């Protein structure tokens, strides 16, 4: 089903891993990971085929909570409740991050038969990070299927001709030299993760050089980073010819204005891709710009009442997901943390399945420090990793160049170490500023559960 979106073998041009590494020797490359992914090729192709059929109108059977579902969740302590052994999906409790944090080891991959587990932390864009477990198959899906599925959803063709399929541009300092993820299949070329330091013009030039040399078919990034790079690209011009077939924006909602500017610079479709660390790709936009959820690979999406209904308008709810494909961490009625307006009316594009008429929350702002200096808060993504005593924080911009950081330390941090811990966090934030800025701090207890917490806030009005 997916074949028509990809060019055939006669039009494919490939470069070996060695050739790419010769050009960019600093890129990390994990040969073991690459072998592992290749083993999953038949599975990946089967899943992509299923997804393409779904997009083209093959509606899967409606999901029912049955014996199989019950068996998938049985090994995991968070699903010990008797209700999961019987009953109807609608009668099961919803699961949220607060409950996962309260439960000692909520998931037990070994009991679910795991021999190798990928452990990761969510990026923490919505609430403090969680430990998440991926089965090897789920890992391969999350690495390699999201962008092909986004392309199929939007009806983009001609994929897979070039040596590099996609480049994910990140400012996450955890990956200072980027990484090469070689193609696990013949269908499309390599994937790259490329780190850029937006405060360093040489780093931005390196990004352009790479784009010119490798001409990826897809450039993906986050809205805040796209916005900062746009300032550069609008001045310096398009970095690559031929340009990308499409741009993919994830991690937060893409503001209309940023989308228009990206379209103007690259002359190609710009798609929003909706994903979470816990479940990877949830959905993406069709050619008409409607956000479709993926019920081909996840079991079920629903809108559940907001925890604080007083804040909602009619028709708004919180998105809850049931997804059993990652058997090491199956999710049942899992509250994703986003306020949505979900509809099951068929989109004008003709594809069946649930769509989001509205998706709120998940806006990542960019701090404007004046005189053309911008700060992307995603550059602080490694803060939790480097400061184990940090539970949560909030960075508030008070004037263009003065900030307050509210710091919430994990319970049990000894009282004589608290101030030093806070100062370390403050210093890490201050040192990430592209220009001199004042950063004050205070210790604070932050209410982070639910859909309303914003880690980054600006009190500066445009």
Nearest residue (CB) to Zn ion, 245 versus 355 = 355
Nearest residue (CB) to Zn ion, 87 versus 350 = 350
Nearest residue (CB) to Zn ion, 279 versus 347 = 347
* Nearest of 56, 72, 59 to residue 5 by alpha carbon: 56
Nearest residue (CB) to Zn ion, 28 versus 349 = 349
Stretch that binds Zn ion, among 11-19, 175-183, 348-356, 405-413 (CB under 5 A): 348-356
Helices 201-214 and 223-236: crossing angle in degrees, nearest 10, is 80
Three-state DSSP at 254 gives: coil
Nearest residue (CB) to Zn ion, 219 versus 347 = 347
Nearest residue (CB) to Zn ion, 150 versus 193 = 150
* Shortest Å distance, C-beta 340 to Zn ion: 16
Nearest residue (CB) to Zn ion, 265 versus 286 = 286
For position 336 contacting Zn ion by CB under 5 A, the verdict is no
CA distances from 162 to 8, 43, 44, 242 (A): 12, 23, 20, 10
Enumerate residues 82-121 that contact Zn ion by CB under 5 A: none
Tokens of 140: 């391969």
Kindly tell me which residue out of 135, 170, 290, 327 binds Zn ion, with binding defined by CB under 5 A: 290
- Dist. CA 123–CA 129, nearest whole Å: 6
Stretch that binds Zn ion, among 26-34, 58-66, 342-350, 453-461 (CB under 5 A): 342-350
CA distances from 377 to 94, 107, 227, 392 (A): 31, 31, 12, 14
For position 448 contacting Zn ion by CB under 5 A, the verdict is no
> Are the C-beta atoms of residues 49 and 1 closer than 8 Å to each other?
yes
Nearest residue (CB) to Zn ion, 296 versus 439 = 296
- Dist. CA 351–CA 376, nearest whole Å: 36
Stretch that binds Zn ion, among 163-171, 258-266, 281-289, 388-396 (CB under 5 A): 281-289
- Dist. CA 154–CA 50, nearest whole Å: 16
For position 284 contacting Zn ion by CB under 5 A, the verdict is no
For position 319 contacting Zn ion by CB under 5 A, the verdict is no
Stretch that binds Zn ion, among 88-96, 153-161, 196-204, 345-353 (CB under 5 A): 345-353
Nearest residue (CB) to Zn ion, 343 versus 394 = 343
For position 249 contacting Zn ion by CB under 5 A, the verdict is no
* Shortest Å distance, C-beta 303 to Zn ion: 18
- Dihedral pair phi/psi, residue 49, rounded to 5°: -65, -45
Stretch that binds Zn ion, among 8-16, 75-83, 84-92, 339-347 (CB under 5 A): 339-347
How many residues bind Zn ion, per CB under 5 A? 5
Nearest residue (CB) to Zn ion, 254 versus 286 = 286
CA distances from 459 to 43, 303, 398, 434 (A): 48, 32, 5, 19
- Dist. CA 178–CA 168, nearest whole Å: 9
* Shortest Å distance, C-beta 317 to Zn ion: 21
For position 347 contacting Zn ion by CB under 5 A, the verdict is yes
Stretch that binds Zn ion, among 163-171, 219-227, 239-247, 283-291 (CB under 5 A): 283-291
For position 460 contacting Zn ion by CB under 5 A, the verdict is no
Q: Print burial letters for 207-242: b (CB count within 10 Å at least 16), e (below 16).
A: bbebbeebbbbbbbbbbbbbbbbbebbeeeeebbee
Max intra-chain CA distance, the chain: 67
Kindly tell me which residue out of 20, 253, 286, 291 binds Zn ion, with binding defined by CB under 5 A: 286
For position 349 contacting Zn ion by CB under 5 A, the verdict is yes
For position 220 contacting Zn ion by CB under 5 A, the verdict is no
- Dist. CA 191–CA 160, nearest whole Å: 11
Element (H, E) at 144: helix 136-144
- Dist. CA 339–CA 306, nearest whole Å: 8
Positions that interact with Zn ion (CB under 5 A): 286, 288, 290, 347, 349
């Amino acid at each position: 089903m997916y074949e028509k979106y990809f060019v055939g073998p006669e039009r494919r041009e490939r470069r070996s891993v060695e050739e790419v590494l010769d050009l960019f020797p600093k890129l990390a490359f994990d040969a073991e990971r690459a072998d592992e992914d290749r083993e999953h090729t038949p599975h990946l192709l089967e899943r992509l085929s299923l997804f393409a059929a779904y997009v083209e109108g093959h509606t899967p059977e409606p999901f029912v909570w049955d014996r199989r579902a019950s068996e998938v969740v049985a090994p995991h302590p968070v699903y010990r409740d008797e209700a999961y052994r019987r009953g109807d999906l609608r009668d099961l409790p919803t699961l949220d991050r607060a409950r996962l944090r309260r439960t000692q080891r909520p998931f037990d991959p070994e009991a679910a038969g795991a021999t190798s587990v990928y452990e990761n932390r969510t990026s923490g864009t919505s609430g403090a990070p969680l430990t998440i477990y991926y089965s090897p198959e789920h890992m391969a899906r999350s690495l390699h299927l999201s962008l092909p599925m986004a392309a199929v959803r939007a009806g983009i063709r001609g994929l897979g001709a070039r040596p590099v399929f996609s480049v994910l541009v990140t400012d996450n300092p955890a990956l200072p030299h980027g990484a090469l993820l070689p193609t696990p299949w013949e269908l499309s070329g390599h994937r790259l993760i490329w780190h850029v330091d937006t405060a360093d013009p040489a780093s931005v030039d390196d990004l352009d050089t790479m784009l010119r040399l490798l001409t990826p078919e897809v450039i993906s990034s986050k809205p805040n980073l796209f916005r900062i790079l746009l300032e550069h690209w609008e001045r310096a011009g398009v970095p690559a010819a031929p340009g990308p077939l499409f741009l993919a924006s994830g991690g937060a909602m893409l503001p209309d204005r940023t989308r228009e500017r990206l379209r103007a610079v690259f002359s190609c479709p710009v798609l929003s891709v909706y994903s979470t660390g816990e479940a990877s790709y949830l959905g993406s936009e069709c050619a008409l710009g409607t956000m479709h959820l993926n019920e081909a690979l996840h079991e079920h999406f629903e809108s559940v009442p907001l925890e604080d209904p007083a804040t909602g308008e009619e028709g708004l709810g919180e998105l809850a997901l049931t997804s059993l494909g990652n058997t090491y961490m199956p999710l049942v009625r899992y509250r994703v943390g986003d306020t949505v307006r979900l509809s099951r009316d068929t989109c004008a594009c003709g594809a069946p399945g649930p769509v989001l008429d509205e998706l709120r929350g998940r806006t990542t702002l960019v701090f404007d420090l004046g005189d053309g200096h911008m700060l992307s808060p995603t550059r602080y993504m490694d803060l939790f990793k480097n400061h184990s005593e940090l539970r949560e924080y909030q960075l508030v911009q008070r004037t263009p160049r003065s900030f307050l950081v509210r710091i919430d330390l994990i319970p049990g941090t000894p009282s004589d170490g608290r101030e030093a811990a806070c100062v370390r966090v403050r210093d890490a934030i201050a040192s990430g500023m592209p220009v001199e800025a004042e950063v004050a701090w205070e210790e604070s207890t932050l209410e982070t559960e639910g859909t309303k917490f914003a880690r980054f806030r600006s009190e500066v009005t445009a």
